[in-house]
Amino acid sequence: MSQEKTVTVPNISCGHCVKTIEREVGGLPGVGEVSADQESRRVTISWDPEATDWVAIEDHMGDIHYPPAD
Protein backbone atom coordinates (compact mmCIF):
# COMPACT_ATOMS: atom_id res chain seq x y z
CA MET A 1 0.00 0.00 0.00
CA SER A 2 1.44 3.34 -0.99
CA GLN A 3 1.40 6.62 0.86
CA GLU A 4 0.82 10.02 -0.70
CA LYS A 5 1.62 13.54 0.39
CA THR A 6 1.16 16.98 -1.17
CA VAL A 7 3.50 19.79 -0.14
CA THR A 8 4.19 23.38 -1.11
CA VAL A 9 7.61 24.03 -2.68
CA PRO A 10 8.15 27.82 -2.86
CA ASN A 11 11.26 27.48 -5.07
CA ILE A 12 9.25 26.27 -8.10
CA SER A 13 9.42 29.11 -10.61
CA CYS A 14 9.51 27.51 -14.07
CA GLY A 15 8.98 24.40 -16.15
CA HIS A 16 12.60 23.38 -15.60
CA CYS A 17 11.94 23.29 -11.85
CA VAL A 18 8.94 21.02 -12.41
CA LYS A 19 10.92 18.64 -14.63
CA THR A 20 13.86 18.54 -12.21
CA ILE A 21 11.65 17.70 -9.23
CA GLU A 22 9.71 15.04 -11.13
CA ARG A 23 12.91 13.45 -12.50
CA GLU A 24 15.01 13.61 -9.33
CA VAL A 25 12.37 12.66 -6.77
CA GLY A 26 10.79 10.16 -9.15
CA GLY A 27 14.16 8.42 -9.45
CA LEU A 28 14.35 7.62 -5.74
CA PRO A 29 13.84 3.95 -4.83
CA GLY A 30 10.28 3.33 -3.75
CA VAL A 31 8.83 6.52 -5.21
CA GLY A 32 5.94 5.72 -7.52
CA GLU A 33 4.61 9.00 -8.83
CA VAL A 34 5.61 12.65 -8.62
CA SER A 35 3.46 15.47 -9.91
CA ALA A 36 4.73 19.05 -9.62
CA ASP A 37 2.67 22.11 -10.56
CA GLN A 38 4.36 25.41 -11.39
CA GLU A 39 1.30 27.63 -10.83
CA SER A 40 0.34 26.34 -7.38
CA ARG A 41 3.92 25.43 -6.40
CA ARG A 42 2.55 22.14 -5.07
CA VAL A 43 4.13 18.72 -5.41
CA THR A 44 2.27 15.45 -4.88
CA ILE A 45 4.39 12.37 -4.24
CA SER A 46 3.35 8.76 -3.77
CA TRP A 47 5.76 6.17 -2.42
CA ASP A 48 6.03 2.65 -1.04
CA PRO A 49 6.65 2.97 2.72
CA GLU A 50 8.42 -0.39 2.74
CA ALA A 51 11.04 0.92 0.29
CA THR A 52 11.54 4.49 1.54
CA ASP A 53 10.12 7.01 3.98
CA TRP A 54 9.02 10.64 3.87
CA VAL A 55 12.17 11.86 5.67
CA ALA A 56 14.41 10.45 2.91
CA ILE A 57 12.23 12.05 0.22
CA GLU A 58 12.15 15.40 2.03
CA ASP A 59 15.93 15.30 2.57
CA HIS A 60 16.51 14.63 -1.13
CA MET A 61 14.24 17.52 -2.08
CA GLY A 62 16.40 19.77 0.09
CA ASP A 63 19.56 18.37 -1.49
CA ILE A 64 18.31 19.37 -4.97
CA HIS A 65 17.33 22.85 -3.69
CA TYR A 66 13.55 22.31 -3.69
CA PRO A 67 12.76 21.83 0.01
CA PRO A 68 9.08 21.53 0.93
CA ALA A 69 7.68 24.34 3.06
CA ASP A 70 5.16 22.10 4.85
> Tens of pLDDT along 41-67?
999 999 999 999 999 999 999 999 999
DSSP 8-66: E-TT--SHHHHHHHHHHHHTSTTEEEEEEETTTTEEEEEE-TTT--HHHHHHHHHHTT-
Q: Which domains does the chain have, with CATH numbers?
A: 3-63 (3.30.70.100)
Q: Are 37 and 43 in contact (CB under 8 A)?
A: yes
Q: Which helix (H) or strand (E) holds 3?
A: strand 3-8
What does pTM read for this prediction?
Answer: 0.94
Q: Which band of pLDDT confidence, cut at 50, 70 and 90, is reported for residue 1?
A: confident
pLDDT at 17: 98
- pLDDT tens across 17-26, in order? 999 999 999 9
**Whose CA is closest to 54, among 38, 37, 70?**
70
